[in-house]
Structure 1
């Protein structure tokens, strides 16, 4: 059975962010689906945390009748890492300029204990949003697409950053896509995570290579799907 690609978006995003990537996967005959993480919500008071995100990713994996290639962008790497550690169906975990934290670590600890100074806190203090998304998250993305992406950004629940990663896989093949021009997640850090992966690739993009270099990301995911099919 051909693997399904389950896509996990980053902080503040929605599944819409993977539309160009999903379309290209479909054109290659590869099934895909994108989850909506509950930590990202238009209502700051409704934005949830890491534990709820992991549950949603697990449910998406469990709903697939067959092997899964799990692909995550940015913060999405955290719940994807935890879910992959608990799901037997995942044959490969692909990090797209994503956080590959070690178990027991939180995003807040990684960030040094505080949010970036350009981020905005919600009035209720329960969520945050990037105030410089055009430059940090969508650098190098086509301007019209960037404008639409910024318009669709949600609040991100602070618990997504303070809760610790509960588990990380030890027996699943990892692929890391390094965005070499990323202003949001230092490429040097990405290279450290890539060094631990079985497969790695470098794309000369900002933080969102799935938008600016969709062809390249699609090709890398297709390779992961092919490897899973061969293994099966």
Structure 2
């Protein structure tokens, strides 16, 4: 069992084309501030199945949780925390915040400005499924423009693919943000999820919002101090 008596456990859920290593600077700051932290595995196979994996992990944690999702991870936490009394706050870092019936593939094109579809590299699998990667040639410029080039190159190599089917899978059932306080960090120069899309979803969720002007989709990597400040604000404001 994992948990702390005084502070909620911060559970971090990475998105597509990334892994938990991107949270390194965030984790270090949270640990220094005395928060228990767990990096959740996100299989990136489909919203419902990925949410079930995260929900199972939550069941192993004692005490309250602040659940944090980046990008596609936002869709996962919105389903995983539905109906939970344990999750006190949801924090979205440049993330999708879908409503019931919406798929991330549709949301990403609702407003102009995303380059994600033209940046994808498809790898057909033997079972008929298709894995999607961000082409490493454009990873820095389109996914991580405000991250040093040498770091972006490493993230591009270490990225984990998402199943193509995951982007077309609509969110099912009530979404957690309808009952759990939401906090959103908007990346102001995002070329993956346009800022206008992020603002639309945050407003609909009634989220507390911070905007980082000029930030790329990896805003929590380029501005970890701002991401941590929002996570800790969520923890403080929802403490019981």
TM-score of the superposed pair, with normalisation by structure 2? 0.86
CA distance in 1, matches of 2:107, 2:210: 23
How do residues 93-112 of structure 1 correspond to structure 2 at under 5 angstroms? 93-111=90-108
How do residues 25-104 of structure 1 correspond to structure 2 at under 5 angstroms? 25-39=30-44, 48-104=45-101
CA shift at 1:163, angstroms? Answer: 1.6
Corresponding residue to 1:185 among 182, 189, 193: 193
How do residues 15-30 of structure 1 correspond to structure 2 at under 5 angstroms? 15-30=20-35
Is 1:151 the counterpart of 2:144? The answer is no
- Structure 1: unaligned runs, 5 residues or longer: 40-47
Is 1:129 the counterpart of 2:138? The answer is no
CA distance in 1, matches of 2:78, 2:161: 22
Question: Counterpart in 1 of 2:113?
Answer: none
CA distance in 2, matches of 1:157, 1:198: 29
User: Is 2:130–2:164's contact at 8 Å kept on the other side of the alignment?
Assistant: yes
CA shift at 1:144, angstroms? Answer: 2.5
- Structure 2: unaligned runs, 5 residues or longer: 111-115
Number of aligned positions between the proteins = 221
User: Is 1:54–1:79's contact at 8 Å kept on the other side of the alignment?
Assistant: yes
User: Is 1:35–1:57's contact at 8 Å kept on the other side of the alignment?
Assistant: yes
Question: Counterpart in 1 of 2:180?
Answer: 172
Question: Counterpart in 2 of 1:119?
Answer: 120
Runs of 4+ in 1 over 3 A off after TM superposition: none
Question: Counterpart in 1 of 2:236?
Answer: 226
Question: Counterpart in 2 of 1:203?
Answer: 212
CA distance in 1, matches of 2:220, 2:109: 27
Question: 151-160 or 74-83: which moved more?
Answer: 151-160
CA distance in 1, matches of 2:187, 2:109: 22
CA shift at 1:111, angstroms? Answer: 4.3
User: Is 2:133–2:161's contact at 8 Å kept on the other side of the alignment?
Assistant: yes
CA shift at 1:143, angstroms? Answer: 2.2
RMSD of Structure 2 on Structure 1 (CA): 1.7
User: Is 2:131–2:162's contact at 8 Å kept on the other side of the alignment?
Assistant: yes
CA distance in 2, matches of 1:155, 1:220: 28
Question: 71-80 or 165-174: which moved more?
Answer: 165-174
